[in-house]
A and B are shown apart, each in its own frame.
Chain A
Amino acid sequence: RKEVEQDPGPFNVPEGATVAFNCTYSNSASQSFFWYRQDCRKEPKLLMSVYSSGNEDGRFTAQLNRASQYISLLIRDSKLSDSATYLCVVIVGGSARQLTFGSGTQLTVLP
C-alpha cells in the first residue's frame, strides 16, 4: 500500500463548479500535511498547509481527519487557472526530509 494515496483523476469540471479531492495516508505517526499544486512541466508549489482544525484560503478549504487518516481539499467557484495537478504531501515524524508526496490528482477546469 502506498504511503500517500490520491485518486489520480482526471477531474474535468466546468468553470464555477465546486470540486473536492481526498487523500489518504497510511502512517498514523504523520505529523504535517500540505497541498501542493503542480502545473504541467513546472515545479510543485505550496498551495496550503492543512491544520487539524481545518483552514480556508479564499476559495480553497483544506481539512484533516486524523482518525480516518485522510486530508481533503475543496475548491469552490473553480477558475480556468485552477487547472493543475494537486499533490497531497505528508511529513512523517518531525523531519521535513520525510516529506512524502502522493502521485497527484489532475484537475481540468473547462470553459
Chain B
Amino acid sequence: DAMVIQNPRYQVTQFGKPVTLSCSQTLNHNVMYWYQQKSSQAPKLLFHYYDKDFNNEADTPDNFQSRRPNTSFCFLDIRSPGLGDAAMYLCATSRGTGGKETQYFGPGTRLLVL
C-alpha cells in the first residue's frame, strides 16, 4: 500500500512558468519534508512542516514555497522555475522530529525545465 504518494511522477515545465508538485500521505505523520536531489548528489532539504508550522532552510531560494492545507497533503510551489531547478523532488514524512525518527520517502517527482 502506498504510504507517501507524489504526483505527478514526471513534470515538464517551461522556464519561468510556475509549477506545483503534490505530496500526500496515508501515515498520519506530523512532519512532512521536501527535498531536492540533483543527479549524483545527496538529497537537500528545502523545508519541512511540523503540523502547520513551516520551517524553511536558510539556503532555500525564495523561488520555492510550500503549502500544507491539512495533515495529509503538502505542496511544493516553484514560482519561476529556472534551468537549474531541474531535479528530483522528494517528499518525506516522519511521525516526529526526534533524532531516531525514520523518514519515509515518496517516489519523487522528476522535474524537467525547458
Contacts and interface: CB of A to CB of B under 8 A. Distances in A.
Q: Do these two chains really belong together in a complex? A: yes
B103 A101 contact: no
A107 to B, nearest CB: 14
Given A41-B110, A97-B33, A97-B48, A104 B42 contact: yes
B96 A96 contact: yes
A44 B43 contact: yes
B70 interface: no
Contacts of B107: 42-43
B110 to A, nearest CB: 7
A96 B105 contact: no
Interface in B59-99: 88, 90, 94, 96-99
Contacts of B45: 97, 99
B100 A8 contact: no
Interface residues of B, number: 27
Contacts, number: 59
A101 B38 CA distance: 13
A8 B110 CA distance: 22
B97 A95 contact: yes
Interface stretch (A56-64, A75-83, A86-94): A86-94
Contacts of A93: 99
Contacts of A91: 99
A42 B106 CA distance: 9
Interface of B: 31, 33, 40-45, 48, 55, 88, 90, 94, 96-108, 110
Given A43-B105, A44-B90, A97-B33, 13 more contacts: A34-B102, A42-B107, A87-B42, A91-B99, A95-B99, A96-B31, A96-B97, A97-B45, A97-B48, A101-B43, A103-B40, A103-B42, A104-B42
